Each structure stands twice: as C-alpha cells, then as structure tokens.
Structure 1
Amino acid sequence: MSALPYFQNFAHLVIHIPAGVKHPKAITDPLQKTVYALNDQTYAYSISFDQALNELFDYRNLHALHQDRNVALQEQLLQRYLSLEQEEKAEPFQDQIIAHASARMYLEMTRHFDPRGCFIAPMTLDGTTLFDRFPKALADRLSLWLPDGRKKEIWYVSKLIHALYPQVLYRDPLSIITKRQEDIRMMLVHPEMQYLNLRGSADRLNELESGPIQKDRSFYLQVSLQKLQGMYKMTTREISPRIAQLRTDLSTLQTCDQLSFDDIEYWNGVNRPYRSIRMMDAVDGLTQTLEIPSFGVLFVDLEKI
C-alpha cells in the first residue's frame, strides 16, 4: 500500500462495496470516523462510518450483486478501453491511450464527489485481478507497472494527479486548476471523439474531427488566470503518443523478448513525461493557449519565483 502515494494517508478501514455507493455524503465533522468505500470499478472515496454501516445492510446492494450488475460495470469499463485501442494506428500507443483514459476518468468522476474527500482513479499495481471475477484483461490495462518492472504512463498520470493542490479553482470534464498560496497546478486532457461517443456526449464537441492519430489533431485550450503578479516558472509535462513516437530507442526495446536490469533502468529513466520549462512575467493575470496533442495529458505547474 505504501508504494502508491494515494494510499499513504488511508485509514485502516476500507470496505469493498461491489456496486458502489449511490450518493456518498460529505463529511463535515473532522472528528467523525471515516472509512473508504471501494467498488468493483476500483473507485475509492471517503464516506462516514454511519453511511458505511447503512450500506452494509442495504438490501439494494445484495440485489445488485445477485443480478451481477457490478460485473456488467467492469465489462463496460473494459469495452471502453478496447474501443479506444481499436482506432487506426493506435496499437503501438496503448499505454498512452490508457493513461489518457485514466486522466479523463479522474476528471469526470471527481465532479461528483466532495472535493474535501479522497478519490482514487482505477488502478492496480502489477496487473493482479482485484476481486473475484474481475476481468484479467481489465486488470492488465489498469496496471501501473509491467511485470518486468517497467513503469507505464498510467503510473505517471497517477503521480501527477496526486501532485494537484487541494484547493480547486476550476474543474470540468477536460481540465482541473488547483492553487496553493500563489502557485498554480493544472491538468488538461484531449477530448477524444471516440471517448465522447462512448460517454454519450459527442454533441458537445461536434466540431472535432475524428480520424487516426496525427499531429494536426491537437486540441487548443486558452487558460486565463486572474490576479497573478510577478515572475513565474512554468513547467509543463506531457504524456502522449506524439512524445512516444519521438523515442525511437524505446521502440527497439519493445521488440526484445527479454530485457536486462540495465535495459529496464534505462527505460524508466527515459520513458517519463516530456518536460519543458519557461519563465513567465505575469502582469494583471496570465493568459496562455495550451496545445494538447491527440490522446494527450498535459500537466502545468506555475511556481511563483
């Protein structure tokens, strides 16, 4: 548990509620006992101790298990990933696509939970199936590491999510902007048409053109931050198929049947989010147009100098 930053502050009591809690209640009393509910899609969120007891004795949860509704949710999640992977020319970039989908899922799901609580995007450390009848194909896609010790892109997405500040200035299905004192951290994702179709939300972005992965499918988002003053160090991290295409030395390692310890160490050293740094002078605020490439995740850190 200590290997994942998300779990370091966890209470000892975690209850597996397969079908999930329909309406988690916000915890207003800091002295109130807190537990974490974990459902079969691996969403975890904080609930009160009293609500946890009520859920354990709620006949609707037993009814959902009897009808295998929780298994249907797992299959729905797996089919969503498979549909994303079937796009033309997407096969070499499955890890980037899964990382993108994980970031999208985090942004969508956190809108429905109290921001003071804890939310964990779907994940498994090594591809082990999480529960009985949990699809192995889904566990493989949610794994943070490959069996030989190579870190996947979803590992870095989970670390970036954990690095966001607690104070949320803005959030929507594509972005989240957080603040701590005068520093800003934000995460933005590309709105893939295929993903929106699966979510039944394609009408929101009909102007986007669907097609194979290519450079001209970048999505541009203008971010305006008011009341910022002074010099800022802007660090941008990008996870995307575009970056993976540039790392030709790693594509050679992908074809090897067996990697040495040095190969794996080299892979983990190179296969990190692409990083760029700029100095920005903010006068009465700061406005930036950010490019998010196809299946891309962008993390921006604005640090006051």
Structure 2
Amino acid sequence: MVPKIEMTVKSAKIALETIETVDFHVNDDLKVLFILADHLEVLKQGKVILLKAGDIFLVNPGEIIGMVGSSKNRVLMLNIQLLEFEQLVGQFKLTRPLSLSYHHDAYKNLTKLLSRLYIEQMQKKKGYQAIINGCVSLVLGTLLRTLTIEPLSFNRTLDNDNKIKNREVMAYINEHHTEKLTLQKLADHFYVSKFYLAHRFKEDLGMSVGKYLKEIRLLYAIRQLETSHLSVGEIAINNGFPNVRSFSDVFKERNGMTPTEFRKKKPILFTDTPGIEESDVYQLLENYITIEEISELKKHDFELFNKSIDLSRVIGKMAVKNFVVKLNPLNLTNTTALKLMQLGVRYIAVEKIILKVKHNAKKEICFKDVTDIIDNILQQGFLPYIQLQTVDWEAIKPSEKAVFLKVLKQLSYHLQSNYPDMTGWVLEFRCFYEEGNDSSLCRELVEAIPYFVEIIPIHLHFPRHPHNIADIENNSGIMIKSIDDFSQVRELPLEQAMVALEAPAIIDRIVEMENIKGQTAILKQMASFDQDEYLIKMTELTMANSTVWYVLNQLKSDGAYYIPLSLDATPLFNYFPTELAAKMALMDAYGFFKVNIHAYQFISELYREIVYQDEHCIVTKRRENYRILMVRPEKSSLNYIRQADFNQDVIEQESAYAKIELELDNITGTYKKSSRRLSPKIKQQQDELIVLDKTATPSLMDVMAYNNVHQPAIEIEKIIIKENYHLEVSLPLLGIYYIQLDKMLD
C-alpha cells in the first residue's frame, strides 16, 4: 500500500530573478527553479547540475546549495514555505532537471503552472490570489505524484540556537574562505571546542566543516574560471588553495576534469547584457502557456540537422561483423535459434571445455558433453566458436595439473576425427590472466596452441594488437589472427604472435586493467539509472542506444570483428561481473526479450556499402535499395565507450528531440518504405499493455504475449520518388529509427 503523504503550503512567492553567484547556504524553503533564458549551475551534494533554458529543478528545505550563473540568465523561482512539521517528512529525490526527456508529463504540467503563476501575480486581476493558491497546490501535488520522497540525511530538529550558530560559522567561512582556515581557528573564533563544533555542524548540515570549506572554495573558483581571464594558478591562490596541484586534484575529484579542461569546454562569460523588459518575459512565457503538443515547444527544445546525400556515391564499407553468442547450452532451442538467425548470428561460443571433460572407469578421457554441445550448434545452423581460457587451467585440480596438456592434445585429435570439415570454425586462445593483479601468461595454454594450428582457424587474444609485425604478404609461415579487447581481428604470423605474447608492452596493458575500468564505468552508469524510478524503466533502451552508437562510431570500416553477445546473462568473459552480464543480456531468465535485441537486428540488416555516415546516422545501399539507421543516446551513457573520465559529475540535460532532415538525391522509382521505431514513449505504452505479476513465475503464454507486444513500432507505405526524396524524422532522446527503402517493380 502506497503511504499517504501530504504537504500543506504556509505561503508561496514567485519571482523572476537573475542569478549570478549564490554562496553555499542552507536552503529554507522548497524552491522550484524554471530557467527561461541562458543557464544556471546548481552545486548540490558534490555535483554540478547544469540547468539550461527550459529546464525545471527543485531544491529541498535544509539542503546546502550554491549557484553560479550570469547576468544573461532569467530564472522563474517559486518559493514554497511548508509548515515546519511537514518539512520533516523527507526530501524530494531529483538528481537531474525535469524536461521533455525526463518526466515528460510532469514537466509539461509544471511549465504551464509556473507560467500561469507568474502572469497572475504580475497582472493581479480579479481573483488572482485564489488562482495562485490553486496553482501552487497543483505544483506541489505534481511533485508528490511524480517524485520519490527520501528520508532526511541530517537532523532538521536541532534547536534554533544551534542552527543560528552553524549559520554564523557558514557566513564566516564564506567571508574568509581565501584565508588559511582550520577547525581549531574556527572553534577559537566562536568560543567553542573544535570537537563540539565539528559534531554539531555535521549533525545539523549533513557535511563536515572541511568539506563545506572545500565546496565554498570550489564555488568561487568555478565562477572565476567562467568570468575572468585569470590563470588557473591565480584562481587557486585567490581561493585559499595552497597550490595549483592541490586545486586541480580537488577540482578533478569533484567535476571529473581539470580546471583547464573545464575552461576549454565552457566559454568565458561576461556580464554585459542589458536587463530584460517585462514584455520580453511574457514572450518567453508564452511558449509554455500555449503548449498543446511537444512539437510546439520553443526552438531550444530541438536540435536541427539537415543533410544532403548523394545516393549514387559510395564513401566506404561497413566493418565485417560476426556475432558470437554466449549462452547456457540448454537455452539453444529451436525458438532461440530462429531469433538469433534473425540477428545474423553466425557463431555460438563453446567454453569451459575442461569442466565438460569426463573420465570413465578406465580413466579414459571422454568428450561426450563437448560433442553434444557442438552437434546441437551445428544442427541449429550455427558454427562453434571454441574458447580456451585461463579458467580452463584453473579448473584442473592441483593433483591433476600434469594431465592438462594431455587433455588438450586429445581434444585436438577428437575434433579432427569427428569433424573432418571445420571450415569457418574458430578456436580462440585467451592466455592472459585478466583479473586482479596477476599479469602473467598461462604458459600451459600457450604450449597447447601448436596442437590446433593445422586443423582449425586460431584467434589469439591480445589486449591490443601487436605492433611492428613484419610484412605479412611475404610471410610463408603459418598465419593466425589476433583479436583485441575491442573484438577486432587482424592476421599475423604465428611465429611473431608467440613472441608478442611475451612482450613487456602487452603485459603492461593487462596490468592497466582497462577492461575492468570500462565495466566499472558501465555499472556506475547503470546504477544511477537503477536509483531513479523514471530512468530505471529506460535502462534497456539506453543499452540499445549505446549498442547502435558503438557500431556507428567505434567499428573501423576496414576491420573485421567477432562481437560477443550474451543471450541469457552468461558472462562475456571470465572477468565479467554477473550483474553487468545480466543487464547486457538479450533476454532475461524467463525468456523475455530485451530492447537491445532489436538494436542488433537493425544493425545486422544494414548493407555493406555506405553512402553517408555521421555520429548519429548511417545510410547504406545495395544496388537501388537503402537502409537508414538513426540513434540519439544520452551523452553521459557513452562515457565508457568514448573512454572519457569515468568520474565526471557534471549533470547536463539534453534537448528532448532532434529534427533530422535528409535530402536523398539521385533516387527514382516506386519504393516500399518500412519504418521501425524505438523510443521512451513507445516503451512506456508497451509496458502499460502488458502488466505481469512479478510475484509469480510467468507462463509460456505470458512470455509469448510480452515478446509480441514489445516490438518496434512499424509503419509501411508506398512512395513514388522522382530524382530526390525529402526524409524528415523527429528523433527523441533515447530514440532509434530504422528505415528500409526497397524498390518495387513498376
């Protein structure tokens, strides 16, 4: 049963303000901030929330905040004073601004209500006060319905004398933050012990005196980085930091970038813009009051892209993509096999071979379980992708280590005698220990490589492809392929590959554990979604967006890739966290397909010839047929792919929609246009159609119904094109749009 939460408004005030700098302070009232022009940065809980025109954000009573803006911004601020006992209920949980792409329905309601509040207060027509009271209640009701209430993280019930004393301490720090302040110096100034001061300050405000001082110094430093030409060193000294190194370390710890990088990303602002007239305010608000549909919002809610594309000109070819599916062998059924074929899957992984090897009563080696798995893979129409890894060596009991190479040698004989035609098969050796601090080679695996080189194509894993490889074309020796952490393969001589395994540069790369860092970044991003009741519903869609963006931007057009996919949460690699494998899986434990499966299907249907490509769109062709794929992921979700700083804590909301206009030239004929779309709105509608009882195990009919409903939205039409075609798409944040243009016989 949902707990009943009510809040009573004691008083409310709305005003249009320009906010340049606001020192850190304890906020008294519930503040709703509606940015009408320019930007405002709210510093809250160690993060910078960047608010742009159109964004709505709120600050709870009792929170410590600071603000940095400019004379160019215009902020409509609603202050709601609640009854004191109701402030103890808790705080609204909001980590990013409300916008068209985040809590869309609540955002639309609040823009209308806040705009109406301001105009009623300015015009003061008959009955305005009653209308204002009603609008404020509706604002509060919308917040209560939309956002989660969190318990207080600090003591808001301390006596007033102590609160006053702490505010005096804060004011003193604000004024003297450039000086060398210590806890003892503050205690002496206020005639209290440093232990009492530290305890009361943190209990009342939820942060230590030292952390508060650091945040104040950073607040002023950020302001000076944005509004002055002072050097980073001057800014550090001016704000109480002992040196540039100390300032840079603290700044990067909090903001995920150095002060210099921050300044490059944000142009310096100068406060020379004249004041705004009342008539201009009404013009700003008019866009929000008259809104009926999303498409009627202000221009800043859209990004506009317009491209002219010559369809007769091929600019390159897509990378060769071989999908390798990891799964529990029991899950390779006729149904899943059909779905995997629709994705263009060619390979099914066979791993942990040693655990599948048995010994009979005569201590003979038996490969029956391995054979059964391989036979099923072949019968379902796929090829085996066999992996021998350090986990195979570790699976051997200490007393049986001596038989490891014998087992692998027998495996080579077994494969050769039972499968005389292994054309297209792959055997991958992963000889490095990739977990923990162990950077060594598993030499027993290396010794086993020669057993297989003449019977099956070999892939040898390196974190990065070896450099300084001799001329391959003139090499007459045995050739294998190296495969790196990005799943790209390259051909190289076996002899040089064996030498490269011992190279210090390769060992150092393993020690750096970039793979582990990347997984940590993904998990951090997913965890932030899991903690948000709105975004958690979009986790699958976010993963699908990242998949498409990765293929469009990270795969080299001249390369070949063997991309691992997890069907059922089987980890992609030994070191892969179970939690991450579950999030990246194509289906869950019950057989419900996830959104990412559609992303891979779109990718597999693209043609090889590319006629246009940018960060978010690709157009491919085969003769006179065309495939177009567009994607618009959230930027922060791509940090781990771009290898950006994984600790960046600057939160910036993006435009809700991108309007994409493509002028397709040199195309004539009658075409069948098929469009398939994925978006947050479509996902929400699908979830509302199928409501499952999460306390019960779903039936087969439940799974079939769910998978049938959760398909991309499809539109098909017949179009006649003469020389060119204007394609216009409104692509929402986290949206994926796939279009097929198939020429029909006249």
TM-score bin (small chain): 0.7 to 0.9
The Cα shift of 1:136 comes to 1.7
Deviates more, 1:11-20 or 1:187-196: 11-20
1:12 to 420, 426, 432: 426
1:289 aligned counterpart, secondary structure: strand
Following the alignment from structure 1 to structure 2, what is the Cα–Cα distance between the partners of residues 45 and 105? 13
Following the alignment from structure 1 to structure 2, what is the Cα–Cα distance between the partners of residues 87 and 13? 42
User: 2:616 aligned with 1:135, yes or no?
Assistant: no
User: 2:437 aligned with 1:98, yes or no?
Assistant: no
Deviates more, 1:247-256 or 1:270-279: 247-256
User: 2:630 aligned with 1:185, yes or no?
Assistant: no
Following the alignment from structure 2 to structure 1, what is the Cα–Cα distance between the partners of residues 480 and 464? 16
Contact 2:690-2:706 at 8 Å conserved across structures: no
The Cα shift of 1:217 comes to 1.6
Q: Deviations over 1:196-255 (max 9, x none)?
A: 677599xxxxxxx826xxxx8222211222110011111111122211111245551274
Q: Which letter does structure 1 place at the counterpart of 2:699? A: S
Q: Which letter does structure 1 place at the counterpart of 2:507? A: L
User: 2:435 aligned with 1:21, yes or no?
Assistant: no
The Cα shift of 1:273 comes to 1.1
Change (3 A) 1:139 1:253: same
Q: Which letter does structure 2 place at the counterpart of 1:235? A: S
Identity over aligned pairs, percent = 23
Contact 1:174-1:189 at 8 Å conserved across structures: yes
2:44 corresponding residue in structure 1: none
Change (3 A) 1:266 1:256: farther
Contact 2:665-2:724 at 8 Å conserved across structures: yes
1:118 to 543, 556, 561: 561
The Cα shift of 1:285 comes to 1.6
User: 2:613 aligned with 1:171, yes or no?
Assistant: yes
2:488 corresponding residue in structure 1: 45
2:662 aligned counterpart, secondary structure: strand
Could you say which structure has the greater relative contact order, defined with CA pairs below 8 angstroms and 6 or more residues apart?
1
1:146 to 574, 588, 591: 588
The Cα shift of 1:83 comes to 4.6
Following the alignment from structure 2 to structure 1, what is the Cα–Cα distance between the partners of residues 500 and 693? 46
Contact 2:656-2:733 at 8 Å conserved across structures: yes
Following the alignment from structure 1 to structure 2, what is the Cα–Cα distance between the partners of residues 193 and 254? 34
Change (3 A) 1:99 1:304: same
The Cα shift of 1:92 comes to 1.7
Q: Which letter does structure 2 place at the counterpart of 1:236? A: S
User: 2:681 aligned with 1:238, yes or no?
Assistant: no
Q: Which letter does structure 2 place at the counterpart of 1:277? A: I
Q: Deviations over 1:158-202 (max 9, x none)?
A: 11111110111122221111100000001100142434677599x
Count of matched residue positions in the alignment of Structure 1 and Structure 2: 284
Following the alignment from structure 2 to structure 1, what is the Cα–Cα distance between the partners of residues 740 and 606? 9
Q: Which letter does structure 1 place at the counterpart of 2:488? A: Y
The Cα shift of 1:74 comes to 2.2
Which ranges in structure 1 are unaligned for 5 or more consecutive residues? 202-208
Change (3 A) 1:188 1:62: same
Counterparts of residues 241-280 of structure 1 (less than 5 Å):
241-253=680-692, 255-280=694-719
Following the alignment from structure 1 to structure 2, what is the Cα–Cα distance between the partners of residues 251 and 231? 38
Following the alignment from structure 2 to structure 1, what is the Cα–Cα distance between the partners of residues 503 and 693? 49
Following the alignment from structure 2 to structure 1, what is the Cα–Cα distance between the partners of residues 492 and 537? 45
Following the alignment from structure 2 to structure 1, what is the Cα–Cα distance between the partners of residues 482 and 695? 41
CA RMSD, aligned part only? Answer: 3.2
Following the alignment from structure 1 to structure 2, what is the Cα–Cα distance between the partners of residues 34 and 238? 41
The Cα shift of 1:38 comes to 5.1
2:724 corresponding residue in structure 1: 285
Higher helix share: 2
1:252 aligned counterpart, secondary structure: coil
1:165 aligned counterpart, secondary structure: coil
2:664 corresponding residue in structure 1: 225
2:513 to 68, 72, 77: 68
Q: Which letter does structure 1 place at the counterpart of 2:593? A: K
Q: Which letter does structure 1 place at the counterpart of 2:463? A: A
Change (3 A) 1:180 1:94: same
Contact 2:673-2:742 at 8 Å conserved across structures: yes
Change (3 A) 1:68 1:276: same
The Cα shift of 1:76 comes to 2.4
Q: Deviations over 1:69-121 (max 9, x none)?
A: 332222223334445666672112221121112112222212xx13453363x
The Cα shift of 1:152 comes to 0.7
User: 2:739 aligned with 1:300, yes or no?
Assistant: yes
Q: Which letter does structure 2 place at the counterpart of 1:239? A: L
Following the alignment from structure 2 to structure 1, what is the Cα–Cα distance between the partners of residues 576 and 483? 17
The Cα shift of 1:35 comes to 3.5
Following the alignment from structure 1 to structure 2, what is the Cα–Cα distance between the partners of residues 254 and 95? 20
The Cα shift of 1:33 comes to 5.6
Contact 2:672-2:741 at 8 Å conserved across structures: yes
1:77 to 522, 546, 559: 522
Which ranges in structure 2 are unaligned for 5 or more consecutive residues? 1-323, 326-336, 348-382, 384-423, 431-460, 645-651
Q: Which letter does structure 1 place at the counterpart of 2:492? A: F
Change (3 A) 1:249 1:73: closer
Contact 1:13-1:36 at 8 Å conserved across structures: no
2:389 corresponding residue in structure 1: none
Contact 2:657-2:731 at 8 Å conserved across structures: yes
Contact 2:610-2:621 at 8 Å conserved across structures: yes
Contact 2:463-2:484 at 8 Å conserved across structures: no
Q: Deviations over 1:35-65 (max 9, x none)?
A: 46252xxx42231133882653443222222
1:221 aligned counterpart, secondary structure: strand
1:89 to 515, 531, 534: 534
Q: Which letter does structure 2 place at the counterpart of 1:234? A: K
Q: Which letter does structure 2 place at the counterpart of 1:71? A: I
Q: Which letter does structure 2 place at the counterpart of 1:79? A: K
Q: Which letter does structure 1 place at the counterpart of 2:516? A: V
Contact 1:242-1:293 at 8 Å conserved across structures: no
Deviates more, 1:282-291 or 1:178-187: 282-291
